[in-house]
Homo-oligomer: A and B are copies of this chain.
């Protein structure tokens, strides 16, 4: 396993997170870095999905990854093994990242001038992370098949703020009572513009479509 830098994130003190997030986004725009905020429940497959995504994109662009976790550094080590620049952010029990905490993470990651894409893997939680703009250009989330197709009904804000929903673990669809059409309908009730990509991070199925969408996004952001 690779050794990775671990950064202990401090609780931030800014009252106006939205303003901090907008400021960070504008700075990233100037530096031509695209920041994607990836959220999900614990165990939905964020790290495996990122591994596959990096494999699909690493010949096309330089990628950095910030792995937020309450504890442990297993995820950042997994990502570092792909060759992407990775840092582990320890939130010390905090349930989400806001813009100021994301900024601390970026200062720790130190993406070079040639870095085009930075991905923040947020804390595994469908509630709190949805409430805080991190300064990312877009929000993505993973819903895995075993969690059930009713989650957009139960966690409305998360689905409302996400531009992309990856439906992961489609290889186990035969063993679960998961209705893909209903799920897509519920997602679009929350956000009519959300892109939905069914994927299987374990086998790589469906990753190419998501990677193509993201590549297009990064290109347009960098201008």
Contact = CB atoms under 8 A, between A and B. Distances in A.
A27 interface: no
A156 interface: yes
Interface in A123-150: 123-128, 131, 144-148, 150
A147 to B, nearest CB: 3
Contact of A151 (B42, B127, B144, B157): B42
A156 B43 contact: no
Given A70-B155, A128-B95, A146-B144, A43 B41 contact: yes
Contact of A43 (B74, B146, B157): B146
Interface residues of A, number: 34
A95 B127 contact: yes
A19 interface: no
Q: Which 10 A-B pairs have the closest CB atoms?
A: A43-B147, A146-B146, A95-B127, A43-B148, A41-B41, A41-B42, A72-B153, A95-B128, A42-B126, A125-B127
